């Protein structure tokens, strides 16, 4: 079975992946609205609850419950942690949506097009921005021992995708030159 192009693995996987993205985006909007509500009011309800963490001397955690499931997003009850949770959900949705756009291009055998190159560029620079913002927030949260692993992964992945964009751009130029020769 082919991986790219019509009737390929990517061509068939775009449907369940698209459905997953829509469901995840709706659930994310729900949680993001709960985070915003709690950020401004600090009130709990049946979807927002407070719970003490199991470590002795640790702070209180806030849980944002997804509807119709027993799942919850849990974070420390600080403004910085709420901001990181908010940024995390936004970044995951951004990554999924942009990856879906790349999959749509590749599933149609559109490798060296302006659209594919633009999507790699958007995803690469977006990950760089998320990495820098998240690293800055982590340094604000705990300046003595900031957790910089996830921002570092975002930065490395962003640089890799920008490199891929350059490879696709070079491929597009070669394809355009080949088309002119023929």
pTM to 2 decimals?
A: 0.83
More confident site: 73 or 178: 73
Report which of residues 138 and 132 the model is more confident about: 132
CA distance 19 to 131: 27
> In the chain, which ranges are E strands?
48-52, 60-65, 72-76
The C-alpha atoms of residue 90 and residue 79 are separated, in whole angstroms, by 16
HSE, CB side, 13 Å, CA atoms: give it for residue 93.
17
**Mean pLDDT of the region 49-73:** 84
DSSP 42-55: ----SSEEEEE-SS
Report d(CA 63, CA 47) in Å as an integer.
8
- Read off the tokens for 33: 């609205």
168, 123 in Cβ contact below 8 A? no
| pLDDT tens digit sequence for 68-97 | 889 999 998 888 889 989 999 999 999 999
Has residue 170 got a pLDDT over 90?
yes
pLDDT at 119 over 90: yes
């Amino acid at each position: 079975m082919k991986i790219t192009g019509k009737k390929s693995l990517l061509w068939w996987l775009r449907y369940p992946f698209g459905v997953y993205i829509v469901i995840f985006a709706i659930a994310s909007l729900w949680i993001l609205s709960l985070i915003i509500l709690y950020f401004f009011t600090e009130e709990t309800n049946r979807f927002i609850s407070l719970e003490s963490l199991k470590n002795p001397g640790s702070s209180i955690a806030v849980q944002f419950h997804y509807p119709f499931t027993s799942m919850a997003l849990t974070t420390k009850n600080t403004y910085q942690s709420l901001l990181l949770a908010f940024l995390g959900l936004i970044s995951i949705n951004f990554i999924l949506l942009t990856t879906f756009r790349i999959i749509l291009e590749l599933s149609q055998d559109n490798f060296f097009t302006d659209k594919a190159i633009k999507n790699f560029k958007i995803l690469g620079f977006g990950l760089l921005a998320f990495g820098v913002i998240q690293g800055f927030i982590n340094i604000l949260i705990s300046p003595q021992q900031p957790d910089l692993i996830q921002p570092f992964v975002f930065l490395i992945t962003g640089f890799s995708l920008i490199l891929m964009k350059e490879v696709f751009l070079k491929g597009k130029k070669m394809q355009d030159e080949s088309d002119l020769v023929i």
